[in-house]
Amino acid sequence: MSILLHIAPDLRANASMGTTANPVLIDRFGRRVDYIRLSITDRCDFRCVYCMGEDMSFLPRDAVLTLEECARLVKVFVSLGVQKVRITGGEPLVRKNALWLLQNISSLPGLREQVMTTNGSQLEQYATALKAAGVHRLNISLDSLDAARFRKITRVGELDRVLRGIQAATAAGFEHTKLNSVLMRGVNDDEAPALVQFAIDNQLDIAFIEEMPLGEVGRHRESSFVSNDETLQRLQDRYTLISSTESSGGPARYWRIPGTTSRVGFISPHSHNFCESCNRVRITCKGELYLCLGQEDKIELMPLLREFPQDNAPLCAAILDAMQIKPKGHDFDLNRAEPAVVRFMSMTGG
């Protein structure tokens, strides 16, 4: 559901181009939002089975935020107290001139961390440039170490290319790089120990993400769903895992393996709901502000960007007002006949 917000006059008066009266983003449940995930493209060079349909239609150029609009949005959010920005897609590195945006964002005063989620396909070419552009950390999707399985999951991806990209990121000086893995029963769920060992051997972190029922591919996902409790048990049969209170600013809960530098994280929207501490919102490449990945309510920011190209006051006010409709939590239910969220993961941003 798209929602139009009334722009409060006092917020409009207190907000100006690039500055505000130092408000912060607090939702109606008292949670502070200091982390945004911005998708800069819906396009991707992979077609992962849990993220996209096999035959995807992508947005025309004029329906996507320009890079200048992306930079303006991030600047406004940072002025409202956001300290962490994650750039996502689709695959963000297929967006032409993405490096310009990353350089622009990294120079913003008050920003603590700029990170990127990528499928790794372009890292062999761009890792050094990303580091120079001010990207602090990378999350790299890796669901299998078997080339044939990897191709089946991604439909078109080449495992060796991603592995070379991971090596390039390490050579470029990236630290605490995190692998993201989605396990699916009967597809790759037996690879959890091998993926963890790969992370250990390459001094990487790894997070296992439970499948989420999003879009058409979310139908009947209960048959392939693997809970993180099950994955944890499988790993504990091989490794000593010590619970940690560490956080990377997102929903992952981490465990340490003694004698290694690697952390094993679990993002568990089903088995261990993390909504009570949610500190983030998502912005699609169309400028839609989603207050929750698992709900359909959204705020359209693109019209404000284009109607008021020199005035950030309406944009600031809409964002501040939006905090009052941020839901308490998502609504994922694997047993539901129809997925609660009909958009694909790639449409919201990885």
pLDDT digits (tens, 9 = 90+) for 213-241: 654 544 455 678 999 999 999 999 999 99
Q: What is the pLDDT of residue 330?
A: 62
Give the Cα separation of 116 and 134 in Å (integer).
11
Select the highest-mean-pLDDT range: 165-179, 285-299, 336-350. 165-179
Q: Is 205 left (phi over 0), alpha (psi -120 to 50) or beta?
A: beta
- Sign (positive or negative) of CA dihedral 179, 184, 188, 189: positive
Torsion angle of alpha carbons 91, 96, 100, 102, nearest 10°? Answer: 0
Distances (CA, A) of 32 to 9, 315, 345: 23, 19, 24
Give residue 255's pLDDT.
Answer: 97
Q: What is the mean pLDDT of residues 257-272?
A: 86
Those residues whose C-beta lies under 8 Å from the C-beta of residue 46, and which sit 6 or more positions away, are 52, 91, 119, 121, 154, 155, 156, 157
Q: Is the domain covering 2-348 a CATH 2.70.180.20 domain?
A: no
| Cα pseudo-dihedral 310, 134, 252, 33, rounded to 10 | -20
What residue ranges in 26-112 does DSSP mark as E strands?
A: 35-39, 84-88
Per-domain boundaries in the chain: 2-348
pLDDT score of 21 more than 80: no
The secondary structure of 194-226 as a DSSP string is HHHHHHHHTT-EEEEE----BSGGGTTGGGTB-
Q: For position 288, what pLDDT does the model report?
A: 96
Determine the Cα–Cα distance for residues 283 and 303; give it in Å rounded to an integer. 14
What single-letter DSSP state applies at residue 17? T
> Mean pLDDT of all residues in the chain?
87
For 317-329, the pLDDT digits (tens) are 999 999 999 988 7
pTM exceeding the 0.85 threshold for the entire prediction? yes
297: CB partners within 8 A, 6+ apart: 1, 3, 290, 291, 325, 327
